[in-house]
Amino acid sequence: MIFFTLTVKTTFTDSHTRFDQCGVVLYQDSENWLKASTEYETATMQHLGSVVTNGGYSDWATQEISGDVKTMWYRLSRRQTDFRLEASVDGQHFQQLRIAHLAAATGVVNVGVYACSPENSSFEAGFSDLMIGECIWAANDGQVPNM
């Protein structure tokens, strides 16, 4: 599928150690991948973020969100080798996190959900309402400039 949208709801009520995280991932290999996740920092602050790795070079984009947030919806849309990551607290109103190009994503891609706890901890993450379907990311065929 060269065009698709994956949507999933994540629940992470038990996250408690720095870097506990869960979200959505596209993994081609260790040199080419992207993810969006909620990452625990403290009881009052977390990071909603994304990482894109192209040819072994990564960048990380984040925004702070309240530590009270314990559910997040993610949408990953593909248009050939371009991808859009979005997040929503209610599953209805999504906000774009980023658009990225993955040069290695020319054919089949591996997508799914993930959870990890890299600082010698563990937590329970839940995933539900997983759907993969037609791409809902409309093509940008040009727009009229603002006047």
Condensed to tens digits (0 to 9), the pLDDT of residues 17-71 reads 889 999 999 999 999 999 999 999 999 999 999 999 999 999 999 999 999 999 9
CATH number at residue 117: 2.60.120.200
pLDDT value of residue 147: 65
Does residue 69 sit within a domain? Answer: yes
User: Which residues contact residue 92 at a Cβ distance below 8 angstroms, ignoring those fewer than 6 apart?
Assistant: none
Where in the sequence is the domain holding 107, given as residue range(s)? 3-130
Find out whether 34 and 144 touch, Cβ atoms under 8 Å: no
Average pLDDT for the chain: 93
The pTM for the full model equals: 0.91
Number of domains making up the chain: 1
Q: Is residue 126 part of a domain?
A: yes
Cα 111 from Cα 132, distance rounded (Å): 10
**The pLDDT of residue 142:** 61
> Residue 75 domain-assigned?
yes
User: Tokens 């400039």 correspond to what residue?
Assistant: 145
Compute the distance between CA of residue 70 and CA of residue 136 in angstroms, rounded to an integer.
Answer: 26
Asked if residue 139 is part of any domain, the answer here is no
Residue at 114 is within a domain? yes
Predicted local confidence at residue 92, as pLDDT: 97
Average pLDDT over residues 104-128: 93
